[in-house]
Amino acid sequence: MRPPRYFAYGSNMNPERVRERGLNVRASESATLPGFALRFDKVSRQHPSESHANIVRQPGETVEGVLYELADHDDILRMDRFENTPINYSREAVLARTRDGTRPAWTYFANPAVRSDGLIPSDDYLAHLLAGRDYLSPGYLAQIRRLAGRAE
C-alpha cells in the first residue's frame, strides 16, 4: 500500500507549522492542482473579520502548493483536528501534479457555511503561506500577495 499524501495550499505550506501539528512527513515536494483556484474566503474562527485560504473548482486555473508524503495513513487524522473537519473544512481526494507525474492526495475545502467574500488574511496567517516559497513559482507568490490584498 502506498503512503498517503496531503496537498497543502494554505498555512500548512509552512513546513514548520506542519511539524508543530504532529504530522509525520517522509518527504515534501512542489505540486499543482489544475482546475482549481486559490481564494481567501474562509472566515477565521479566532478573528471573524479575517480570512484563511480555500480552493474552489475553476477551469483554466491552477493552485500551487506542497505535497507532503505522510508516514502513515492515520497521519491525516491529525490534520482533520486542526482544520476542524467536518465543521469548517471537508477533506477530499484530489490528483496533484508533480514533476514526476500525478499523485492522489488529500486536501481540504472550506464548507459554504464558513465562507464569506470581502475578507483578507492577517499578516501572521499570510506569513505561513509565504514560508512555503521554496515550493512555489515567483508568479504564484505574487498572485498570493495580490489575492491577499498585498499587491507588490
Tell me if 24 sits within 8 A of 72, measured CB to CB: yes
Please provide the average confidence, as pLDDT, over all residues in the chain: 95
**How many structural domains comprise the chain?**
1
Residue-wise pLDDT tens digits, 110-129 = 999 999 999 999 999 999 99
pTM score of the predicted model: 0.95
In a domain, 82, yes or no: yes
Backbone region of residue 149 per phi and psi (left: phi > 0; alpha: psi in -120 to 50; beta: other values): left
In a domain, 69, yes or no: yes
Q: What is the CATH classification number for the domain harbouring 57? A: 3.10.490.10
- For residue 152, the model assigns a pLDDT of 61
In a domain, 25, yes or no: yes
In a domain, 98, yes or no: yes
The distance of Cα 17 from the centroid of its chain, to the nearest Å, equals 12
Structural domain span for residue 64: 5-147
In a domain, 66, yes or no: yes
Where residue 1 falls among pLDDT bands split at 50, 70, 90?
low
- For residue 2, the model assigns a pLDDT of 66
In a domain, 152, yes or no: no
In a domain, 72, yes or no: yes
In a domain, 49, yes or no: yes
Residue-wise pLDDT tens digits, 36-65 = 999 999 999 888 899 999 999 999 999 999
